[in-house]
Amino acid sequence: MRENKRTDMNNQDTRPAPRARLIPRLLAATLAFAASAFLYVPAQAETTAAAPQNNQPASLPTPVPQVAMPVPGAPVLSARSYVLLDANTGQIIVQKNADEPVPPASITKLMTSYLVFSALKSGNIHMDDMVTISKKAWEMQGSKMFIEVGKQVSVKNLLMGMIVQSGNDAATALAEYVGGNEQSFVSLMNATAKKLGMTKTHYEDPTGWPSDGHVMSARDISTLFNALVKHFPTYYHEFFRQKEFTWNGIKQYNREKLLFRDNWVDGGKTGHTEEAGFCLATSGQQNGMRLIAVVLGTESDDARNNEAEALLNYGFRFYENIPVRQAKQVLATPDVFKGAADQVPVGLDKDLVVLVTKDQAKNLSVSMTINPKLIAPLAVDQPVGKLEVKSGDKLIAERNVVALNAVPEGGFFKRMVDTARLWFK
């Protein structure tokens, strides 16, 4: 009996404890569950251009081409330098000597306007503020608003005098009021030019009065004009489209003659000195497309108007903007592994508008590629794929597709299951 008892005890010692037997069974069950879960996960499409349905991105509506003919060569102008800029994309359509620093004359007042508008928008000054006219402002030569020393003039009227009448006296008075003194204002002009990426610009006064070191390039002027319209659209339309202004009993007409010739032109700034020649920066809109034309160093008032108009007509005739996708529009909801959420909405962080010739527009297509193994954590705006816009085989634009929501890391069990799923993917 004692021997049998010892035998039973020996047999009992060689068997695993109940908890030890449970661990391998649990692991096997987990792996089996993960494998079965993987088998029922639909595969994520990597490239698609289908309409928005489930996880598929939206397709680009087929535009109706306005012109089927190929685009002819750009007009050749006599201006020393010029640029035609598409405002929506920032792309230059036509250019000659775009980065050559040259005297800009009164086109300088675009920057003076930009800084006054900025001060108005921030609340540092107000339209009805009364500015006392200094002796220096009153003594300014060249084009004038005809303000009087010691008198008070509102900021609004000074803006009209500077923009419509190109008054050097008004520009100086505004610079002194906004900057405290003219030199401080000029420092602000140069700092703002640098901030806007205007690499070929240096200012020495707020008016554009001739000075050896006072220069801008055609590209920089188009950049500044675009920023002024985008950052201060209400002020731009209020002042730059005005055709005349009367002050002190003297009516003066806007020197921007295209305002009187083309109803789609909505603003511009002229300039003229002996060194600069006749200059013009102007802008207009057609069918939601804004173009900015800059011509510098022409020989006459008529030449600058005709050449700027030729650039604008060329751009509107043969090019167009196509809106492709809006910022934050959900283009797909791909799967996410090891995350607190199983899927994430993806799209673009900025609106995508492309510039195309009108014959390219008829063949426009959009495709999107998403990383098939997105692993949490994911941050907002983290790139997860690419979106391409093509016309036929020609690549027109490429943008990052980004996560529109953050996806934090999931729990231990979720990470373990998704690790197994990734083995089979």
| Tens-place pLDDT, residues 50-93 | 333 444 444 555 554 444 567 899 999 999 999 999 999 999 99
Please answer whether residues 218 and 83 qualify as being in contact, where contact means their C-beta atoms are separated by less than 8 angstroms: yes
Write down the pLDDT at residue 94: 98
Q: What is the pTM of this model?
A: 0.81
Domains in the chain and their CATH numbers?
42-70+319-425 (2.60.410.10), 81-298 (3.40.710.10)
- Which residues pair with residue 215 across a beta bridge? 202
Distance CA 185, CA 165 (A): 21
Cα(298)–Cα(319) distance, integer angstroms: 26
CB 210 within 8 A of CB 103: yes
How confident is residue 41, by pLDDT bands cut at 50, 70 and 90? very low
Bridge partners, 400 (sequence order): 386
How many Cα atoms are found within 13 Å in the side-chain-facing hemisphere of 225? 33
Q: Which of 153-162, 336-345, 391-400 has the highest mean pLDDT?
A: 153-162
- Residue listed under structure tokens 């985008």: 230
Q: Provide the terminal-to-terminal Cα distance of the chain, rounded to the nearest Å.
A: 61
For 394, list phi and psi in degrees, rounded to 5: -85, 125
155 vs 138: CA distance, rounded Å: 16
Q: What distance lies between CA 104 and its chain's CA centroid?
A: 25
Q: What percent of the chain has pLDDT over 90?
A: 77
Q: How far apart are CA 135 and CA 349, in angstroms?
A: 51
SS3 percent helix, strand, coil of the chain, rounded to 5, is 35, 25, 35
Q: Of all residues in the chain, what percent carry a pLDDT higher than 70?
A: 84
Mean predicted confidence (pLDDT) in 267-283: 98
* Residue 139 Cα distances to 68, 242, 252, 274, 362, angstroms: 57, 26, 19, 21, 59
Looking at the annotation, which residues are catalytic?
A: 106, 109, 166
Q: Residue for token digits 């032109």? A: 265
